[in-house]
Structure 1
Amino acid sequence: MEIIKVPEWGITPMPEKGRRLGGLDYFILWSSLGVGLLVLSAGSFLSQASFFDATIAIITGSVGGSILLALAGKIGSDHGITSLVSMRPSFGIRGSYLPAILNVMQLVGWTAFEIMIMGRAAALLSANVVPYPILAAVFGIVVALLGIAGPLAVARQWLGKFAVWIAYGTSIIIIGTLLMAPSTQHILSSPGKGMSFFTALDLVIAMPISWMPLVADYNRFAKRGRTTFWATLIGFALTNTLFYFGGVLLGTFDVLAIIVAMQQIFFGFLMLLLLVDEADNAFADLYSAAMSVQNIFPNLSQKHLIIGFTVLSTILASVVTLQDYETFLLLIGAIFVPLYGVVLTDYYLVRRQKYTEQMMFDNKRSIGWPAIAAWVLGTILNFVISPLSPLYVPSMPAIGATIPSLFAASLAYLIIHRLIRKPEAKLAT
């Protein structure tokens, strides 16, 4: 019954007694969250690019995306606040409700994908002796218990003492054997099927970007912000790079086909072990979905929210497929890249890392229209120039959608903020 007595920290700033995690804890946490079958599957999309373009995109996207991830996490560790609360100084309290709703939608989707993958992979590895619905329900119960246990217990007990070492060991063996496989030479010299470097970059950077609306929920437990920044950056960039690279080497677009391929190269047991670590990804999604709802309704119970989202995600896991997974990744980039272009600009450039509790919990600007306007502008730009757009022409020179929309949202916010500040300064004088 101890798990039921775990404290619910809520969305108020984390007290000192809750800030217990150090650099090693965060390296373990974020390197573990960079491991997963979904990352392998995302990496497999890059086999449509030349191997050279895919490799550069993987390194650039993993490092660049992890820097943005660590910068977003530092807001949480500096002030002990959740991800959605970190948006309030720029978007306003009520203005943060829309990002919260969109975040819940993407997190329920991620959890459904995770439960589906774990259940179907385990069913394949057991030769369907145990039916998929039962396995999906079992994995749902596991991730719900991890969510209720909370980040401190998961980081110190589940990951630090058990799951992460399985993830490291199986990852090294799998990637190493793929490099020595006979088909690797053909993949290394492959010219690809027309995917540009920038489209590949958008697909890589989408993974760390997808964690940005979650990162402060966990990094707020940090003892020191600077150490946590580097641990988050290095940990996630390392495993994200390895698993995208592994996906390129596999070169198959169906995660279940990946499982079959692994069975064919005697990795059935290793893949089963890897599923043990996959559960922490779903845990993170569930916990942050609950935190996002509490940004709007702070008095709701985390435990009840986690249980409810688990049930919903497990039901969705019986109907979702991975056919639209690439589109899902691009949509995440379209929404959250410009969003964090605004948030990071506000914190690091406009406010110079000086947020107050009044900005986060008593913000008279209940809706930050400059932030909303800059976000919408960046999102529209991202959509128009990405492969999601009906106006997209593959034969035209590509610059990708991630970098332009990030800088467009950031620049728009700076311009709008300055235009508003000038009249206010004149009135003050």
Structure 2
Amino acid sequence: MTETKELRGQFLLWLGAAISIAEIMTGMLLAPLGFSKGFLAILIGHLIGCGLFLLPAGYIGAKKHQTAIQSTKVAFGSTGVLLFSLINLIQLIGWTAVMIVNAISAMNGISSSLLNFKNSIIMGLVIAILIIIWLLVSENSLYRINLIVVNLLVIGAGIMIFLIFKAPVSHTSNGLNMTFGSAVELNITMALSWLPLIGDYTKSTKHPLAMSTISSFSYFFGSLIMFTIGLLLTTRTGFTDFTSFLATSGLGIIALFIIIFSTVTTTFLDVMSATINIQNIHSFKHMKLISIIIVALGLVIAWVVPIDNYQNFLYFIASVFTPLYAIVFVTYFIMKKTLPYWLNIIWWLMGIIAYYQLQKFDFIFGTTIIILFGLGLLVYLSQFILPKSHFRNIK
């Protein structure tokens, strides 16, 4: 594959990941700030999440030809890779279930309006089967399919923006409270949900900087638009339910297409990375079969487990992976050597505790940025206290 085609494929991959109803629904939560402040929070949060986290994480994976979780080995060793692979596997299966739940709910709403029909079992099976098809096709076929689908999704997003401006203006409050700091944090955490995945898709390149840059920029661009659509929808029309808007928009079958394929192109990456994390824990020959099992597991969870508020799920991901990658970044980019693995584990656990404690203070640029620089500084200063014999040089 040529460099141009490789980068174009990566751009489409991450643009497809960003175009999802989850991003739109999260953007709708920012409506209490109003459009101007809400958009500023979206912009700042995405700059922090994509620029300070996704870009360096993708670069490390590309430079070392390692998956996102394997790249933590520089600071935590092989045992750390196993631990974080297990944690990441759990959150990826959770994300798979969340995405399927959102899709089932939205599809039922649209099909009920169009066809007077709704069935969670059938809707879930449709999504699961399409995800499996994405998993089974060859790389070249996937490139061509993604090219078509993502372009159609971009057109669909443009149509939604047109319909939002066409709809009657209403400023009905959604009854939620949202501070600027918590809005920024929510944007950062959505980007951070991809942090333990991005290296999985940059590791095979010969062009580390270009690949990591195009990946993080593509997600930044797509996610920024999706968040803005959600914010604009609620602040301009008063809709607090994205499905209700689609059902009354006149899009018809196009609305179902947007829901189904935006879910598939996003969830596909979660399932692929979950499979990769299983390989980190134990090597299996039949990766495609493992992927299908993960889809089935996510589908069953979506059917039987109530998943009402994934905002706390996002905060959990941020609390775990922000301190983890803060330590990895300082170790790899600045120190060029690692503290003892046990000490980094202690710093990581302290970072998790600090995240939840600092949440109470509602910093204007979010809690994540405090953890990144604060914990990073503490890890850096630790090298001046310990004897040199405790350090390991990294390659």
Does TM, normalized by the shorter one, top 0.5? yes
Unaligned runs of 5+ in 1: 1-16, 353-358, 360-364, 387-391
| Deviation at residue 21 of structure 1 after TM alignment | 5.6
Tell me, in whole angstroms, the C-alpha distance in 2 between the residues paired with 1:232 and 1:90: 24
Post-superposition Cα deviations, 1:217-276, rounded to whole Å, max 9, x if no partner, equal 111233411211221232111111111111112339xx9931121121213333222122
| Deviation at residue 153 of structure 1 after TM alignment | 4.5
Is 2:380 the partner of 1:414? yes
Aligned to 1:328: 313
Aligned to 1:10: none
Aligned to 2:273: 288
| Deviation at residue 309 of structure 1 after TM alignment | 1.2
1:177 corresponds to which of 149, 163, 184? 163
Aligned to 1:261: 245
Q: Check whether the contact 1:27–1:232 (CA below 8 A) recurs between aligned residues.
A: yes
Moved more, 206-215 or 414-423: 414-423
Is 2:220 the partner of 1:241? no
Aligned to 1:319: 304
Post-superposition Cα deviations, 1:279-327, rounded to whole Å, max 9, x if no partner, equal 0211111111111111111235322321221111111111344522211
Compared CA separation, residues 303 and 285, structure 1 to 2 (3 A): same
Q: Check whether the contact 1:120–1:256 (CA below 8 A) recurs between aligned residues.
A: no
2:349 corresponds to which of 358, 361, 376? 376
| Deviation at residue 334 of structure 1 after TM alignment | 1.3
Tell me, in whole angstroms, the C-alpha distance in 2 between the residues paired with 1:77 and 1:270: 37
Moved more, 63-72 or 266-275: 266-275
Aligned to 1:92: 77
Aligned to 1:163: 149
Using structure 2 for the length normalisation, give the TM-score: 0.88
Aligned to 1:362: none
Aligned to 1:229: 212
Compared CA separation, residues 273 and 130, structure 1 to 2 (3 A): same
| Deviation at residue 414 of structure 1 after TM alignment | 1.6
Is 2:15 the partner of 1:31? yes
Q: Check whether the contact 2:128–2:295 (CA below 8 A) recurs between aligned residues.
A: yes
Tell me, in whole angstroms, the C-alpha distance in 1 between the residues paired with 2:151 and 2:65: 28
Unaligned runs of 5+ in 2: none
1:136 corresponds to which of 124, 142, 154? 124
| Deviation at residue 345 of structure 1 after TM alignment | 1.8
Q: Check whether the contact 1:148–1:306 (CA below 8 A) recurs between aligned residues.
A: no
Using structure 1 for the length normalisation, give the TM-score: 0.81
Tell me, in whole angstroms, the C-alpha distance in 1 between the residues paired with 2:109 and 2:252: 9
2:135 corresponds to which of 138, 147, 153? 147
Q: Check whether the contact 2:21–2:262 (CA below 8 A) recurs between aligned residues.
A: no
> What does 1:385-400 correspond to in 2, within 5 Å?
385-386=358-359, 392=360, 400=366
Aligned-partner SS, 2:354: helix
Compared CA separation, residues 52 and 297, structure 1 to 2 (3 A): same
| Deviation at residue 87 of structure 1 after TM alignment | 0.8
Moved more, 195-204 or 19-28: 19-28
Tell me, in whole angstroms, the C-alpha distance in 2 between the residues paired with 1:288 and 1:25: 17
Aligned to 1:6: none
Tell me, in whole angstroms, the C-alpha distance in 2 between the residues paired with 1:417 and 1:290: 36
Aligned to 1:110: 95
User: After the TM superposition, which parts of structure 1 deviate over 4 Å for at least 4 consecutive aligned residues?
Assistant: 17-21, 190-194
Q: Check whether the contact 1:21–1:223 (CA below 8 A) recurs between aligned residues.
A: no
Q: Check whether the contact 2:189–2:314 (CA below 8 A) recurs between aligned residues.
A: yes
Aligned to 2:31: 47
Post-superposition Cα deviations, 1:188-209, rounded to whole Å, max 9, x if no partner, equal xx89964221110110011110
Q: Check whether the contact 1:35–1:167 (CA below 8 A) recurs between aligned residues.
A: yes
Is 2:191 the partner of 1:208? yes
Matching residue's letter, 1:166: L
Tell me, in whole angstroms, the C-alpha distance in 1 between the residues paired with 2:141 and 2:324: 28
Tell me, in whole angstroms, the C-alpha distance in 1 between the residues paired with 2:89 and 2:240: 26
Aligned-partner SS, 1:129: coil
Post-superposition Cα deviations, 1:382-402, rounded to whole Å, max 9, x if no partner, equal 11122xxxxx377xx766311
Aligned-partner SS, 1:419: coil
Compared CA separation, residues 194 and 131, structure 1 to 2 (3 A): closer
Aligned to 1:310: 295
Post-superposition Cα deviations, 1:122-171, rounded to whole Å, max 9, x if no partner, equal 23322253622022122112212323447x347513212x2111111101
Aligned-partner SS, 2:19: coil
Matching residue's letter, 1:138: V
Q: Check whether the contact 1:44–1:247 (CA below 8 A) recurs between aligned residues.
A: yes
Moved more, 41-50 or 190-199: 190-199
Tell me, in whole angstroms, the C-alpha distance in 2 between the residues paired with 1:410 and 1:317: 37
